[in-house]
Amino acid sequence: MHRPVETATPPHPAGQLTVGAASLDEWREIAEWAAQEEWNPGLGDTECFHPTDPAGFFTGRLGTRTVSAVSVVNYSADFAFLGYYLVHPDHRGTGLGLATWRAAVPHAGRRTIGLDAVPAQQATYARAGFTAVHDTLRYAGRPEAPAALDPDAVPFTAAHLDAVAAYDRRCFPAGRHGFLSRWLTAPGHHTRVLLRAGRVAGYGVTRPARSGHRIGPLFADTPEDAAALFDSLTAAAGPGGEVFLDIPEPRQAAQALATGRGLTACSHTVRMYTGPVPPVEEELTFGVTSLELG
């Protein structure tokens, strides 16, 4: 059900814009918009992310028609992530996006907010108080089948969940145990956990997208560990398919892994925050989970 939280009157002949929290079913329409923008979302992303903060997915409506959207997902008392800032092409340039933004962003309260901005919107976010920290590069390609797979990269089971969630917390600014319980086992997702002497030394997930497969996250102790996971993930996804991996630009070792496996940089976004950059062990990141939702 669409629950109104604020009404604004944009300069639009259709009348008032109503902004409210969107249900899981309603948000599927926004995922279609993202696909049309060639963001290439994963096929099951909505089902995995929406339960993380059901009140944090906002749409704007003129009458019964959805015309705008933005997500402001609260992950913890200190951190939120903003994404899916979209206006339907028929209604751009009318102030609907800004009205939706103003209604939705207070949901984050005093939390630091992160986002990945398309370059064309970087200045807009800067005016809203966001500071650029680094670029995130999207790599794409068709890696060759590996000659051999590391036997320590094993399929995820429920017995791994607590240890994987603990490892993930070192790489992400908030605990994501509930989200991971869905993300690691969703239909079509392949998750591999790297176990060195029984200890988690990294993990990764590949999922089907509108085009090819997206890998994310890819977290590992070392470049060699990340390579073992990458090979196991691409083998699980099937030979010859196109894969996409989003890498923070400062992570040179991750970029070397991508290019060494035949991927090339094809686009970039800009990671921005409203406050202090949340502390994580950045050297463990070889690929982020999602540009839209952190």
pLDDT tens figures, 59-70: 999 999 999 999
Report yes or no on 126 lying in a domain.
no
263 and 176: one domain? yes
Q: What is the pLDDT of residues 229-245, one digit of tens each?
A: 999 999 998 877 899 99
Which pLDDT belongs to residue 9?
Answer: 40
Q: What is the mean predicted confidence (pLDDT) over 52-79?
A: 97
Q: Is the pLDDT of residue 11 over 60?
A: no
What is the span of the domain harbouring residue 204? 138-287
Q: How confident is the model at residue 146 (pLDDT cuts 50, 70, 90)?
A: confident
Q: What is the mean pLDDT of the chain?
A: 93
60, 99 in Cβ contact below 8 A? yes
Q: Are residues 40 and 81 in the same domain?
A: yes
Q: What is the DSSP string of 141-154?
A: E-PPPPS---TTEE
The reply to whether 123 falls in a domain is no
Q: Residues 191, 218: contact at Cβ < 8 Å?
A: no
Based on the domain organization, do 146 and 281 belong to the same domain? yes
| CA 227 to chain centroid | 21
Q: How many structural domains comprise the chain? A: 2
Is it true that the peptide bond before 217 is cis, omega within 30 degrees of 0?
yes
Same domain, residue pair 283 and 142: yes
41 with 177, same domain? no
Tell me: do 164 and 237 sit in the same domain.
Answer: yes
| The pLDDT of residue 68 | 97
Residue-wise pLDDT tens digits, 91-105: 998 899 999 999 999
pLDDT for 111 beyond 80: yes
The predicted pLDDT at position 6 comes to 45
**Residue that wins the pLDDT comparison between 147 and 162:** 162
Looking at the structure, tell me whether residues 96 and 142 fall in a common domain. Answer: no
As beta bridge partners, residue 139 has: 245, 265
Q: Which two tokens stand for residue 223?
A: 């470049």
> 191 with 234, same domain?
yes
Please indicate, yes or no, if residue 294 is contained in any of the structural domains.
no
Whether 124 is covered by a domain: the verdict is no
Mean pLDDT of 152-168: 98
Judge whether 133 lies within some domain. no
Averaged pLDDT, 46-54: 97
Asked if residue 54 is part of any domain, the answer here is: yes
Same domain for 164 and 281: yes
Q: 131 lies in a domain?
A: no
Residue 129 lies in a domain: no
Same structural domain, 208 and 148:
yes
**What per-residue confidence (pLDDT) applies to 8?**
44
Average confidence (pLDDT) over 46-50: 97
Q: Residue 166 pLDDT more than 90?
A: yes
At residue 15, does pLDDT exceed 80?
no
> What's the confidence (pLDDT) of residue 240?
78
Residue 147: pLDDT band (50, 70, 90) is confident
pLDDT at 290 over 90: yes
State yes or no: pLDDT of 7 exceeds 80: no
pLDDT at residue number 10: 40
Determine the average pLDDT of the residues in 250-271: 97
Radius of gyration of the chain measured on its C-alpha atoms: 19
Instruction: Quote the pLDDT of residue 239.
Output: 77
**Partners of 19 in the β-ladder:** 6, 60
- Termini Cα distance of the chain: 25
- CATH of residue 263's domain is 3.40.630.90
What integer pLDDT is reported at residue 2 of this predicted model? Answer: 47
199, exposed or middle or buried, with CB in 10 Å at 0-12, 13-18, 19+?
Answer: exposed
Q: What is the mean pLDDT of residues 30-45?
A: 95
Pair (41, 87) in one structural domain = yes
Over range 36-53, report the average pLDDT: 95
CATH number at residue 88: 3.40.630.30
Question: In this structure, are 185 and 92 located in the same domain?
Answer: no
